Every structure is written in structure tokens, then in C-alpha cells.
Amino acid sequence: MLKKLLMILGKSNITSDESELLQFVLDLAVDKVKNYCHIEVVPKGLENTVVRIAADFWRAEGYGSEDKPKEVTSVKRGDVSTSFASVSTAEAVQGDFLSKYRAELNSFRKLKR
């Protein structure tokens, strides 16, 4: 799945730090999917979905670039002044990260025991 993630993000030459960060993001996506679906192992049919979720996490956090999502904290009109604050993934995405993948995930979801 890591190779697919690299391909989706358009990365070919990465540092060891980026590799570890990519693996972390991929593991995070796997954990989210396993917890949502109540499964122990991600089935083959969900691998591409996991990779897409990981890519969304990567982009939402702004990893690999200095441009992170910003939120305006204050605006001053006279002598124009604007202040920004960094925004976490949960705030940047505005809600549940898996919501746009629910249709795909629900077909693999099991009842919790």
C-alpha cells in the first residue's frame, strides 16, 4: 500500500523522514478503517480506499510542504492586518474524515460484539 500512496502523492524520491511519516499516515488510515469496520485485517477490497484516505490525511495536514491550512484569527481594517493560526486535521476537514468513504466502508462493516 505504501507504493500506491507514493504514486498517488506523486512522490518518487523521498527522505527517510518522509518515508516514516508516510508509513505513519498509512497506519493511521488503516487503524481508522479497522476501527470503523470492526475488523482485524484490512481486506484486499479496501486497500485502495485506505490509500485514498491516507492521501487525504497527508494533504489535509500539509505534510511535505510548508503550506498548512490556516484559519483567520483576527482582522484589522485600518492599516490592514490579518492574523492566521494553524488548523488541525479535524478542524481543517470539518468533521468526520471517513464520511466521504462511508458507502465503500459500510459494505465491509461488521456488527460490534
Q: What amino acid is encoded at 109 in this protein?
A: R
* Residue 88: predicted pLDDT: 53
pTM: 0.69
- Taking only the tens place, the pLDDT of each residue in 31-70 is 999 999 999 999 999 999 999 998 888 888 877 665 545 5
- Cell numbers placing 88: 488541525
**CA distance readout (Å), 62 to 25, 31, 65, 83, 104:** 12, 20, 6, 19, 25
Contact (CB, 8 A) for 25 and 50: no
Q: What is the mean pLDDT of the chain?
A: 78
